[in-house]
Structure 1
Amino acid sequence: MDADANRKIERDCVIAGGGPAGMVLGYLLARAGLRVTVLEKHADFLRDFRGDTVHPSTITLLGELGLRNRFLDLPLTRISTLDVVFDGDRFTMADFGTLPGPDNFLVFAPQWDFLNFLAAEAASLPGFELRMSTRADGLVYDGGRIAGVRATGPEGSLELRAPLTVAADGRASILRNDAGLHPTGFGVPIDVLWFHLPKPPQPVPATLGYASARGLVLTLDRGSYYQSGMVIPKDGFEGIKAQGIEAFRDRLTAAAPHLAGPARSITGWEQIKLLSVRINRLDTWHRPGFIAIGDAAHAMSPMFGVGINYAIQDAVALANAVIPELARGTVSDRTLADVQKRRQVPVRKMQRIQRLGHRAIARRPRGSRLVPRPVSWALRGLSPVLRRATARFIGVGFRPEHPAGA
């Protein structure tokens, strides 16, 4: 830490946001010998109900960086298949074992463990700096070009100047707004309530979710417990709270009857966190000397759990594009535009599919079944093909990125 926090600090890149996108980008730039600072407004990474899904494409990336084995030593849960129960019938919707090895599985890892892991690995690189408890307050301009960040940390105000400033500070990005960039939102008919549930004494096979005409409940395996979710109508949480906590438990067990015992652990609304689901994206991600990535550029739905992985892919594509120029002390507007052009293609495709999925979830079934029996029979008949296709679509995505030289 600089002795005089009020003076200007010169770096090659300054990144606002210590989430997966910011930490991976910081690691990649420092690995290339650049001086990079990541600003994280919180004192630690310990915040629950964040995205915990690490897909095969990200595990492959970690392998290309020489980090795979150490990452897999963390406390995490490996999943080879994703099962969904429709109207009481179990379907294997994705079989990651059909992907090329060795990264033919999906991982659930608490995000704080993943970020602490990245921070520890990056700390060994001489050009990397992580400033915790440091809030990015706004942008620094030099003529018509963005030249850095004004921030507030434990020692007061500071100014970090760099040829490239990156907003990786989430879907409520301060820097994105300060740059005059505002996302276009797409209507989302659902929200998600997140909470913890203990596993029943005799756990069922790993199951992503239980869907029926009575509701949709998610159960992400965290080893000793489930990180669980309930899909509700948009802005419907206040109405659910008005009905009382017992009615909430009844709603939960109506969708997943075997969770009746674990549901009794929910005794108050403080145990439940609302995720207001959004899908949006910027028309333009960049300004001279500045670019937004991850949720700051495109908020993804939790559907398929791809948000972390798409944010990391943004970081890899950006690092590959800018490292040669930043080594010379500059970055061109054309390069930043090319990064957006490359990454917005898979983002648009995935968001389109998520929006279709939301409409299907929100549509009220006409009968007692969510999935008509002929459709259920067709799903079973198509299951082997569907498992392979879904595993690739979810696990690899439309345009996986690889670090330069890998």
Structure 2
Amino acid sequence: MPDTITTTCCISGGGPAGITLGLLLARAGVDTVVLEKHLDFFRDFRGDTIHPSTIDLIDQLGLRAKFDAIPQSEIHTLDVVVNGNRLTPVDFSKLHRKNDYIALMPQWDFLSLFAEEGAKYPNFHLMMGAEATGILREGGDADARVRGVTATTQTGPVEIEAVLTVAADGRDSSVRDAAGLVPVDFGVAIDLLWFRLPRTTVNPPDTLAYLDAESMVITIPRHDYYQAGMLIPKGGYPEVQDARIEEFRARIVRVAPFLAEVVDSLKDWDQVKLLTVQVDRLQQWWQDGLLCIGDAAHAMSPAFGVGVNYAIQDAVASANLLVDALRAGAVTTEELARVQARRLPPVARMQPIQLRLHNVIAKPGGGGFLTNPMRWWQRAIAAVLLPILRQLSARIVGRGFRPEVIEPQLDPR
């Protein structure tokens, strides 16, 4: 027989949403178990942008000194190079706030910071190498209240019984699937190839992407290397591989010539990882005893790098709205529905923007709409539109449509 663990909240997934929710509930006095299927947080090719809204939360948690001590880069503006024309559509100084920049930090460092803080609280239980494999329901009835999960661990199978089960285990959530919840896929016609390149001898201004009439190359500047990517048509990776790694390197240089001195560091396809881009959303994020947050509720595209930060905002809203019920030992479906009612509007506003961006610009060949050099009328339009875009993009990218704050009910107990 599997061992049984009893807790108040069981969270499947130790990514940004799961770790944040676990920390907030534990410091507020709620017994919480967080399951992370891997033995460590070291995963490359994860989102590593910490946006101003998340840095605000770090300040609220009193973790700023520890956060600042982690090696990171700061981005105050973001350029894009469109068919050879350098433009600056994002300027976070337009936020007019203390935290007016994006921090670029490996996600494993961010998760470790929150996990170490959580470990200070006796009711924070992080189980590494533990993966949820199914859900438990009252009486075994398929329509009954969810009362926990089954899981595999390093020491064998366990059953974790909980007042509330939270699926924070990503876009391929096993807990969501076990509950029979199926997201609506909005369809994105691109995939993303992630790879790492050394920093160049002379670095250009921080540039989010280079795009022309052929391709789009992403260049996220980490401390000592570029987290780089190339957009390709959905399902097009085999065709890219058939053309050999040499042609892939040449294609990178054609779009982003400054990478010519470092692109030879890509020796084979083992250094290139495929990210299948999805934009989807559950129609209902909850069942009795179960809540889905982050990518398990709404997969975001890499556009603007907001996925991690929306997942964290989900976690904060969930903790704010459910902590009192969890302390009392019972959570109603009405209370779970309030979490979706709070977080659905900002998600439903951001996803169409991402989809529109992929349909118009953020796609292979999307940079062909500008000539090089720009014609006089293109320069005139850019002069008018870019200042407006900087105001909007700082808000939309930096803080989102509904940034959350940690409410007083989450004060440490």
Q: 3-state DSSP class of the match of 1:219?
A: strand
Structure 1: distance between partners of 2:304 and 2:219: 13
Aligned to 1:179: 179
Give the alignment's Cα RMSD to 1 decimal: 1.7
> Contact conserved, 1:170 with 1:295, CA < 8 A, in 2?
yes
1:46 paired residue among 29, 42, 66: 42
Q: TM-score of the superposition, structure 1-length normalised?
A: 0.96
> How far did 1:376 drift?
4.5
Aligned to 2:324: 324
Structure 1: distance between partners of 2:192 and 2:312: 23
* Identity score, percent: 49
Aligned to 1:196: 196
2:402 paired residue among 394, 399, 403: 399
Structure 2: distance between partners of 1:357 and 1:365: 10
Structure 2: distance between partners of 1:40 and 1:365: 38
Q: 3-state DSSP class of the match of 1:318?
A: helix
1:28 paired residue among 24, 28, 36: 24
Q: TM-score of the superposition, structure 2-length normalised?
A: 0.94
> How far did 1:178 drift?
0.7
The alignment status of 1:287 with 2:283, answered yes or no, reads: no
Structure 2: distance between partners of 1:393 and 1:284: 25
> How far did 1:333 drift?
0.3
Q: 3-state DSSP class of the match of 1:163?
A: strand
Structure 2: distance between partners of 1:135 and 1:346: 30
Q: What are the residue-to-residue correspondences of 1:2-401 with 2, within 5 Å?
A: 6-143=2-139, 144-361=144-361, 362=363, 369=370, 373=375, 374-401=377-404
> How far did 1:368 drift?
8.0
Could you give the per-residue CA deviations for residues 276-331 of structure 1, whole angstroms, max 9, x where no partner exists?
10000101110000011000000000000000000000001110111000111010
> Contact conserved, 1:37 with 1:128, CA < 8 A, in 2?
yes
Could you give the per-residue CA deviations for residues 212-252 of structure 1, whole angstroms, max 9, x where no partner exists?
11311111011111000111111111101101111101110
> How far did 1:375 drift?
3.7
Letter in 2 for 1:9: I
> How far did 1:69 drift?
2.5
> Contact conserved, 2:8 with 2:31, CA < 8 A, in 1?
yes
Could you give the per-residue CA deviations for residues 149-178 of structure 1, whole angstroms, max 9, x where no partner exists?
111111111111111000000000000011
- Residue 365 to residue 111, structure 1, CA distance change in 2 (3 Å): closer
Structure 2: distance between partners of 1:210 and 1:110: 22
Structure 2: distance between partners of 1:366 and 1:328: 55
Structure 2: distance between partners of 1:367 and 1:12: 54
Structure 2: distance between partners of 1:81 and 1:265: 28
Structure 2: distance between partners of 1:182 and 1:157: 26
> How far did 1:201 drift?
0.9
Could you give the per-residue CA deviations for residues 45-94 of structure 1, whole angstroms, max 9, x where no partner exists?
11100011110000001111111231121111111111111121211111
Structure 2: distance between partners of 1:125 and 1:239: 51
> Contact conserved, 1:211 with 1:370, CA < 8 A, in 2?
no
> How far did 1:100 drift?
2.8
Structure 1: distance between partners of 2:121 and 2:291: 24
Structure 2: distance between partners of 1:358 and 1:245: 26
Letter in 2 for 1:53: T
Structure 2: distance between partners of 1:254 and 1:71: 38
Give the stretch that moved more between structures: 24-33 or 61-70: 61-70
Letter in 1 for 2:133: D
Q: 3-state DSSP class of the match of 1:208?
A: strand
> How far did 1:332 drift?
0.7
- Residue 185 to residue 367, structure 1, CA distance change in 2 (3 Å): closer
> Contact conserved, 1:60 with 1:68, CA < 8 A, in 2?
no
Structure 1: distance between partners of 2:325 and 2:246: 59
Letter in 2 for 1:381: V
